[in-house]
Amino acid sequence: MDIEKRYEVRVLLAVESGSRAWGFASPDSDYDVRFIYVHKRDWYLSLLEGRDVIEELDPEGILDVSGWDLKKALTLMGRCNCSFVEWLGSPIIYYKEENFFREIVVLKELYFRKVSAVNHYYHMAMNHDKRYLEKRGCELKRFMYHIRGLLAAKWAMDKGTYPPVPFMELVEAEVSDDSIQRELRELVRLKSQSKEHDKSIVNDRLIAYASETADKIAAQLGSFPADKFADFNRLDNFFLREIEKTNN
């Protein structure tokens, strides 16, 4: 790989993230490629820490490529960072080292924390509420981000696991009203045929459903016991093994 040669790293996983992974990309959506990489051992032994992110921007705006160093990725995973864990659940995988991937998807479940996960998705959803949804005629993209965040928070709350990445899996599991399911499926169809920033009127039933779901999540959040974080021993061992593979 060109990135491996230029940055002297070993790429472990490369996936699609964002709307294409969620299943509601517009025809003009860019490609959000995310990857994990590891350096050789000596890179980690410097007194001055090196940059732990690699970013490659396409001048034409089609590709948005960003990678995280394995140490950064594992540290965040140990703190139940849902943004990173979504990379591991992407249905669009461009490259993976089989043994690495098999082990890390097992490890991630050990570091799931309900309060952290629900908070992450709830606040992600609400960031797309106040700024956009009160205007009624909002970008369809913004409502899709809003409702996906709410359903992901609901999944984490109900099932106590990381939510799936594809949007329709969330809809089918968390929306019990068949008519709401149909309307959300229609929004996915509409989004797939619209430009990225096209605006649309979201009907009152969906707005009301999203509002009720947000209220229920907010009401329950305060009743959860605080998260207890697991130790990092298994992540440390995993990290060291991957460094040794890179040195060999």
Residue 178's domain comprises: 114-221
At 215 the pLDDT is 94
At 213 the pLDDT is 96
Lowest-confidence pick of 27-36, 96-105, 219-228, 238-247: 219-228
Question: What is the dihedral angle through the alpha carbons of 202, 210, 120, 102, rounded to the nearest 10 degrees?
Answer: -80
At 226 the pLDDT is 83
150 pLDDT exceeds 90? yes
User: Do residues 79 and 121 share a domain?
Assistant: no
User: Do residues 66 and 163 share a domain?
Assistant: no
User: Do residues 103 and 170 share a domain?
Assistant: no
Between 217 and 192, where is the model more confident?
217
134 pLDDT exceeds 60? no
User: Do residues 89 and 169 share a domain?
Assistant: no
Distance, in Å, from the CA atom of 46 to the CA atom of 53, rounded to the nearest integer, reads 17
Distance, in Å, from the CA atom of 16 to the CA atom of 104, rounded to the nearest integer, reads 17
- pLDDT tens readout for residues 43-82: 999 999 899 999 988 888 789 999 999 999 999 999 999 9
User: Do residues 102 and 142 share a domain?
Assistant: no
Between 136 and 216, where is the model more confident?
216
Mean pLDDT on 172-197: 91
User: Do residues 72 and 124 share a domain?
Assistant: no
User: Do residues 18 and 75 share a domain?
Assistant: yes
User: Do residues 159 and 240 share a domain?
Assistant: no
Number of independent structural domains in the chain: 2
**Residue 123's pLDDT band (cuts 50, 70, 90):** very high
- Strand order of the sheet with strand 53-57? 53-57, 63-69, 31-38, 10-17, 93-96
**Residue 161's pLDDT band (cuts 50, 70, 90):** very high
User: Do residues 139 and 92 share a domain?
Assistant: no
Average pLDDT, the chain: 91
User: Do residues 10 and 65 share a domain?
Assistant: yes
CATH number for position 92:
3.30.460
User: Do residues 155 and 174 share a domain?
Assistant: yes
Mean pLDDT on 167-196: 93
Among 116, 115, 117, 145, CA closest to 133: 145
Distance, in Å, from the CA atom of 15 to the CA atom of 65, rounded to the nearest integer, reads 10
25 pLDDT exceeds 60? yes
User: Do residues 59 and 99 share a domain?
Assistant: yes
**Residue 204's pLDDT band (cuts 50, 70, 90):** confident
Dihedral pair phi/psi, residue 101, rounded to 5°: -65, -40
Tokens coding 247:
């040195």
| DSSP state letters, the chain | -HHHHHHT-EEEEEEEETHHHHT---TT--EEEEEEEE--GGGGG-SSPPP-EEEEE-TTSSEEEEEEEHHHHHHHHHTT-HHHHHHHT-S-EEEE-HHHHHHHHHHHHHT--HHHHHHHHHHHHHHTTTTTGGGSEEEHHHHHHHHHHHHHHHHHHHHSSPPPSSHHHHHHHH---HHHHHHHHHHHHHHHHS-TT-EEEPPHHHHHHHHHHHHHHHHHHTTSPPP-PPPSHHHHHHHHHHHHHHH-
